[in-house]
Amino acid sequence: MRMGQGVEWTLHVLLAFAWLDDDEPVTVQQLAASHELPVAYLNKQLQALVRASILESLPGARGGFRLARRPEAITLMDVVVAIEGTQAAFRCTEIRQRGAGAAMPAASFAEPCAVHASMQRAELAWRRELAAQTIADLRADADRHAPAAGAALRRALGRTPQRTTT
């Protein structure tokens, strides 16, 4: 089982947006450069976030991406669903009804498959944990452990000039 790396990329991108803390759009080129990622492919992933109303895109010159909601209103669950899709990792194909089960009355399968239920229970715990954490929490954690990271990223994106020239 493997999660697409788009999740990692977009989470870092959203963390960057949380650090920027303004409404100025950022181009995908800047975002890609700030983490040395393939520009075009990152763009594709960000489109998924736009479709999920996590980011919004501004076309044209001086365009780019910016957050569509506040960081506190974006959960990790939202991001995972936006990138990986809504389907569960474990997919019950109802093999209990095939083979030996084929001879049983249809009413026997009214209750959900026990295997399915157990796996679903585990995934529910996973989802619950993801939904409990927001991008704002992520920023708070990062600031706590590496206070300089936010400033470094702002500098890489050309924000917060080190000195006002006049």
Partner DNA sequence: GTGCGAATACTCGGATACCGCGTGTCCGAGTAAGTGAGG
Partner DNA sequence: CCTCACTTACTCGGACACGCGGTATCCGAGTATTCGCAC
State the Cα–Cα distance between residues 87 and 72, nearest whole angstrom: 25
Judged by the rule CB under 7 A, the positions of this chain that interact with DNA are: 1-2, 4-6, 25, 27-29, 38, 40-41, 43-44, 46-47, 50, 57-65, 84-85
In sign, the C-alpha dihedral spanning 22, 20, 129, 124 is: positive
142 forms part of the interface with a copy of itself (CB under 8 A): yes
Distance, CA of 65 to CA of 126 (rounded, Å): 29
Rg (the chain; Cα; Å)? 21
Tokens, residue 141 = 């954690």
Tracing tokens 């020239």 back to the chain, one arrives at: 165
Q: Name which of a copy of itself, DNA, none residue 41 binds, using a CB cut-off of 5 to 8 Å depending on partner kind.
A: DNA
In the bound state with a copy of itself, the residue whose beta carbon lies nearer, of 59 and 121, is 121
Among 39, 69, 89, 160, binds a copy of itself (CB under 8 A): 89
From the list a copy of itself, DNA, none, pick the one residue 90 interacts with, judged by a Cβ distance below 5 to 8 Å according to partner type.
a copy of itself
Q: Which is nearer to a copy of itself, 93 or 166 (CB)?
A: 93
Residue 150 CA from chain centroid, whole number:
19
Contact with a copy of itself (CB under 8 A): which of 62, 93, 106, 163? 93
